[in-house]
Amino acid sequence: MSRSLIIAPQWIGDAVMTEPLMRRLAARGERLSVGALPWVAPVYRAMPQVAEVIEFPFAHGGLQWRQRWRLARQMTGRFDVAYICPNSLKSALLPFLAGIPKRVGYLGEARFGLLTQRLANPTKGQRPPMVAFYSALSGDADVAADRPQLLLSAPEVDAALQALHLTRAGYHVFAPGAEYGDAKRWPAAHFAALAEQLNVPVVLLGSGKEAALCASIADPVNAKRPGQCVNLAGKTSLAQALAVISACKSAVSNDSGLMHVAAGFGVHQVAIFGSSSPLHTPPLNDLAQVLWLKRDAVYQPPLDCAPCFQRVCPLGHTRCLNDILPSRVRAMLD
């Protein structure tokens, strides 16, 4: 059995989209260890194919030579092959320093000498959907049809729900954040209006940085309908958030990491796209419904400015999100 180390991406959504790669590697008999930063490690614990998750002690920025050398010495002789998902120079250093014989990745940031098997970087405008981008590291053909699948055990989910005083399918999940910027965030007022219309409670999820955003949604709704919104932003671990999403009635989100988590668990979801494109990072889930005014049969004429891929609307109106009305999303949740 080949012993394989996968260097994981640093973002939650990207981590989810590597799951089909894990499935392909495990299916051909490779034993998988994933090296991941702590904030994405729980995603890999929801992948049954992964035998081991190694949490990296690295921070954002810098090469952190001392930590990489120390960890490389611990890994020397443990692995036969490394698959390096990120394109950065520093992500390829650890497998090189550990002397892993076969090191597979995209050429990326001048990594020619660090990799033994190099995939050509996709040209701008021709980059495939992210699942196919990662699955291609397996060397297999026909990776376009892969879909991420996440799985948690029933006891693990039940324990998380009990700790948070939630019941299965007794709530909707809202994930109103988006790390990239405002041009990916459906307005908080729209989320609040939608929450008021629903007949079961809403659980708001996000990081601590998104607690104020979630409060701006929950507080006015609870003032009218006490207990309708439960703001858990910054109050759960990622492992708990995964469990909450896996057991929800439905999820509403922007194009974000939690959108991909909901897709991985196959829950009923509405995904709202603004400045980004579902052609590149769609929720790969048969129960997902996507709202994107660039291609919309109801909204006419389509917005020519989408997708702009900007953090803030360059035209100042953000119509790609503002013009998606709460009533439209409400109809999709019935």
* Per-residue pLDDT tens digits for 291-328: 999 999 899 988 989 999 999 999 999 999 999 999 99
The CATH number of the domain covering residues in 154-332:
3.40.50.2000
Does the pLDDT of residue 145 top 80, yes or no? no
Most confident of 122-126, 136-140, 249-253: 249-253
Give me the residues paired with residue 103 across strands: 82
Nearest to 5 by CA among 56, 40, 39, 60: 56
Neighbour-count burial of 255, counting CB atoms closer than 10 A to its CB (0-12 exposed, 13-18 middle, 19+ buried): buried
What is the pTM (predicted TM-score) of this model?
A: 0.94
Say whether 154-332 and 3-138 share the same fold. yes
Cα–Cα distance list, 182 to 178, 188, 307 (Å): 8, 11, 14
Separation of alpha carbons 219 and 122, rounded Å: 45
Residue spans of the domains in the chain: they are 3-138, 154-332
The CATH number of the domain covering residues in 3-138:
3.40.50.2000
Average pLDDT over residues 93-122: 92
Cβ contacts of 106 within 8 Å, gap of 6 or more: 87, 118, 119, 120, 121
From the DSSP assignment, how many helices (H) and strands (E) are in the chain? Answer: 13, 12
Average pLDDT score, the chain: 93
Assign 1 a pLDDT band (cuts: 50, 70, 90): confident
Average pLDDT over residues 64-84: 92
